[in-house]
Amino acid sequence: MQKTTCLACGIEKDMNIKEMYPYSDDSIDTEEPVSPLFKDFECQSDTDHSDFRLVTICHKCWHRVQPDMWMSQREWESLNPITNFNDLPKSPNNQDASTNTKEVA
């Protein structure tokens, strides 16, 4: 059994149990059951723009904010998530400020 949890609303679903797609206006075939849809995004801090966190959200939460390639901390917090921004896992793509500085001789 492979379960995935939405870090915003907390819903947990077994990815092997298919369900009917709930959003008929998305141009997706809604006649056949599909695996539950979860999206992974990077979420950027509003104060430290080099701080990105990883979020996994269910399709219902995604429909509430509809982010593009990433979401802002403000968008994340608009979901009233069960997981605080600071408790989200750090993205491996975070920029280390020490690697962006030059030594001055």
Residue 69 makes CB contacts below 8 A (sequence gap 6+) with 41, 42
Q: Encode pLDDT of 46-104 as tens digits.
A: 999 999 999 999 988 988 887 778 899 999 999 999 999 999 999 987 765 444 333 33
Q: Give the domain ranges of the chain.
A: 3-93
pLDDT of residue 29: 66
pLDDT at 104: 38
Distance, in Å, from the CA atom of 9 to the CA atom of 80, rounded to the nearest integer, reads 8
> Quick one: which of 71, 63, 103, 82 has its CA closest to 9?
82
